[in-house]
Structure 1
Amino acid sequence: MKKMWQFWLTAILATFLLAACGTDSAEKDNKSATETSQKEEQTTEAAFPLILKDAVGNDITLEKAPEKIVSMIPSNTEILFALGLNDEIVGVNDWDNYPEEALEKEKIGGQEFNVEKIVSMTPDIVFAHESMLGISDEGLQQLRDAGINVFVVKNAADFDQTYETIKTIGQATGKTEEAETIIKDMKAKVEEVLAKTATVENKKRVLIENSDAPEIYAPGKNTFMQEMLDMIGAENIVTEEGWAMISPEEIVSQNPDVILIMYSYVPDIIESVKNRDGFSDITAVKEDAVIQVDEDLTSRTGPRLATGLEEVAKAIYPEAFGE
């Protein structure tokens, strides 16, 4: 009987101990979760106020994450939407067409934007762009004079600068984690493309057209497209610096393996290029390698730029992608 009493006493004590341990553990877990939550809140709060220097050297002070945003150029708009700022975006450029939600936003004009309309939107920040300078300076200053934060985004010249632009806009909008995710995904896509094109043995010679005859312009050295060609191991037939005008006769003489069309304002442009005088002798025409690529993917320095690189690589080296 004594042994049975000891057994039951031991069992009861064990039950209380387990319950006590469970309570302590739960309290510790709750305390840990609360502390983690508080740290995350403090981290978010600590991000503001902040001061960021824009592309023209102006210090932009932001007391808190902006609740109303105006974007003045498509690349900025694509970045802002990718960061998840649909609700905060109140105005966009007339040419903004991606994502579809951008089409539903209030339009503020193109390079000649409507200052009064933007002011009436009372935005916390306006994301302008370095490419606008010299044309839109007066209007941008009018916005500043109205007390609006105008952040001039740098005109990115390569992938690294594009990543930096996304990071900066993420900081300015309180979306640093989202920005890092976008950059990580872009880098992964770029690495995937580079891995596939690294196995290509025969380097192809390429012409990239950005306008139709008679004034055919093509990118040369120190351009974004040159960087893309270098990345995938293709040779640009244009060796001049920057953007150069190239004649149809010179194109025939250079005999490119691939012709990439980076514009869409001419109907049936692929057939039109193939039917130019003397082009029937060009390798690109003979091998049906005159290909149109969506210019938005390659000209807008935002989240879709890595996809643009992939499309260029597929057009030049379809065999590397099993196409």
Structure 2
Amino acid sequence: MKKYLKIGLSALLAIGLLAACNSKETKNDNPATEQQATSQGEEATFPLTMTDVTGKDITLEAPPERIISLIPSNTEILFGLGLNNEIVGVNDYDDYPAETADKEKLGSMEFNIEQIIALTPDIVFAHESSIASLDGALAQLEAAGVKVYVVANADNFNETYTTIEQLGRATGKLPEARKMIANMKAKVEEVESKLAGVEPKKVFVETSDEPEIYTPGKDTFMQEMLEMIHADNIAADTNGWYKIDAEHIIAKNPDVIVVTYNYVPDILTKIPQRAGFDTINAVKNKAIVQVDENMISRQGPRLADGLEELAKAIYPEAFE
């Protein structure tokens, strides 16, 4: 049962992310992005006032000593900044790093508001992708005097770097945040250099098993990652995450099939057995690969490693 709940969470997050970033023009008007742009060169000093994605000002008198994170991407950033001792509560699906197992679990898409209040956090980091499910909860928390900072959804690597710097600034860990960003940029540059001049391959990314096969299309983070490694997404003719017909996959004839889920045992051996898939180049050449979904979807410090894993899956010859 748990695996199906996890699938549901991923699907809801994808829908939330899509709704949150429906257009780049809207994103550019983001108050959090504007605030970050004006303070890029400043050091974090307290008292500190920051504007979140909803346009709300959050003032912190000192670096927070009790922190709650309501989404795995924020959690991975906060742990990466060295805030293990300060983090007191996390999302039910937080599983990285291992220390998340020692933290209180507060829910996944819906949260235990009473439990959050009882933990007396100095700040709660929520996320734009789940803002709809937090509608009433935010008012409850604010009425109880709990400060909530809603982190903007990141549509690309640059906006992920902005998120990391914002969390570093809010927690008094700005130098650590900038070091994290530098390490990520170095990894991205290393991956891109290894793929310079590579012959692009047609790729199909599968995020759920039949009968409802879902894939990321245009205007998704996955699309940006594929473009960064010179891969041609066969689903890029449709916007967002959508259900794709098997016939369409067969007709597009991808060179590589990338599977991002692990809830189906032996999925790599089951895909070639689908009707008509024996004509696909990826099946003929045994180029069906599985990657860690969390590494390529969580907008945090492991995203650059996820880009490398994706690149290795599609172009193994470039990394030999």
Whether the aligned pair in 2 keeps the contact of 1:259 and 1:290 (CA below 8 Å) is: yes
Partner of 1:236: 233
Q: CA deviation at 1:256?
A: 0.3
Letter in 2 for 1:320: A
Contact 1:217 1:244 in 2 (8 A): yes
- CA shift digits 1:145-191 (9 cap, x unpaired): 11011000111110000000000000000000000000000000000
**Overall identity of the aligned pairs, in %:** 59
CA distance in 2 between counterparts of 1:140 and 1:297 reads 29
Q: Is structure 2 residue 106 aligned with structure 1 residue 75?
A: no
In the other structure, the counterpart of 1:110 is 108
Alpha-carbon offset, residue 131 of structure 1: 0.7
1:100 is aligned to 98
Of 307, 314, 317 in structure 2, the residue corresponding to residue 316 of structure 1 is 314
Structural mapping, 1:105-254, within 5 Å: 105-200=103-198, 202-238=199-235, 239-254=237-252
Measured on the aligned residues, the alpha-carbon RMSD in Å equals: 1.1
Is the CA contact 1:68–1:125 (under 8 Å) kept in the aligned structure 2?
yes
Task: Supply the AA of the counterpart residue of 1:224.
Answer: F
Q: Tell me how far apart the structure 2 counterparts of residues 151 and 72 of structure 1 sit (CA, whole Å).
A: 11
5+ unaligned residues in a row in structure 2: which ranges? Answer: 1-41
Structure 2 CA distance for aligned equivalents of residues 191 and 152 of structure 1: 30
Aligned counterparts of 1:141 and 1:221: Cα–Cα separation in 2: 35
SS of the equivalent of 1:206 reads strand
- Residue by residue, what CA displacement relative to the aligned partner does 1:27-74 show, whole Å, maximum 9, x if unpaired? xxxxxxxxxxxxxxxx98x71001100111110001000000001010
Gaps of 5+ in 1: 1-42
TM-score, normalised relative to structure 2? 0.85
| Paired residue secondary structure (2:132) | coil
Contact 1:108 1:117 in 2 (8 A): yes
Residue 90 of structure 1 is matched in structure 2 by 88
Match of 1:300 in 2: 298
1:204-225 deviation per Cα after TM superposition (whole angstroms, max 9, x unaligned): 0000011111111111111111
Secondary structure of the residue aligned to 1:241 is: coil
Displacement of 1:199 after TM fit?
A: 2.9
Distance in 1 between residues matched to 2:59 and 2:251, nearest whole Å: 55
2:145 is paired with a residue of what secondary structure?
coil
Distance 1:60 1:224 in 2: 28
CA deviation vs aligned residue, 1:283-309 (integer Å, no higher than 9, x gap): 101111111100000110000000010
Runs of 4+ in structure 1 off by over 4 angstroms are: none
The CA deviation string for residues 55-109 of structure 1, in whole angstroms up to 9 with x for no partner, is 1111000100000000101001000000000000000110000000011111111
